[in-house]
Amino acid sequence: MSVSDKMEVGNLPVMEQFLTIQGEGFHSGRSAYFIRLGGCDVGCSWCDVKESWDAQEHPLHSTAELVERVLETNTNFSVITGGEPTMYDLNDLTKALNDNGIQTAIETSGVYELTGNWHWICFSPKKFKPPVPSIYEVASELKIIVYNQHDLKWAEEHAEKVQSSCALYLQPEWGKQDEMMPLIINYVKQNPKWKISLQTHKYLNIP
């Protein structure tokens, strides 16, 4: 699905939505309502939600429907993820959430221009498709998935491009964590500007 195929503003393909605990990165441990949008053309070979890739397989939901579901919970924080959420115009959704006192965060590979109003922008670039240059200026958090040793060098290349205020995280790819974790631990010891991100929701056995 291409950017030109974006859904009508206010209607988004939703693979799943649920209240959970944010498991990764800066906001790890925080109550969060996740909205996982369908549609992605990045094609990560190790993606753990490949069923999200085809937007046509997921039902459309209006902004009003999504906001109502969030407000049924006690959380004040909503994470928009995917798939690749920047494929869509997210101005209406984020404005409606913000107007109702909900802070908004996005998890993106940064391959399309960002829309929406965000309290937190988690930028996780992938080798399979390059990000747009503008994402480096606005990223709150740079999260690099470490699949092999070369990814540590690749992480530094991206760290040089983000703002100095951007939080830096290295996260082992789940299927390779036994192999990659010792490398990451040692790297962070030697390079303390980085922190380790773990997928704690998987340890907790929650979505």
Over the chain (207 residues), what is each successive 10-residue block's mean pLDDT? Answer: 46 96 96 97 86 93 97 97 96 97 98 98 95 98 96 97 98 94 98 96 86
The domain segmentation of the chain, as residue ranges, is 3-203
C-alpha–C-alpha distance, residues 53 and 178, integer Å: 27
Q: What is the CATH number of domain 3-203?
A: 3.20.20.70
Q: Annotate the chain with three-state secondary structure.
A: CCHHHCCCCCEEEEEEEEEEECCCCCCCCCEEEEEEECCCCCCCCCCCCHHHCCHHHCCEEEHHHHHHHHHCCCCCEEEEECCCHHHCCCHHHHHHHHHCCCEEEEEECCCCCCCCCCCEEEECCECCECCCCCHHHHCCEEEEEECCCHHHHHHHHHHCCCCCCCEEEEEECHHHHHHHHHHHHHHHHHCCCEEECCCHHHHCCCC
pTM over 0.85: yes
Q: Given this model, what pLDDT does residue 1 score?
A: 39
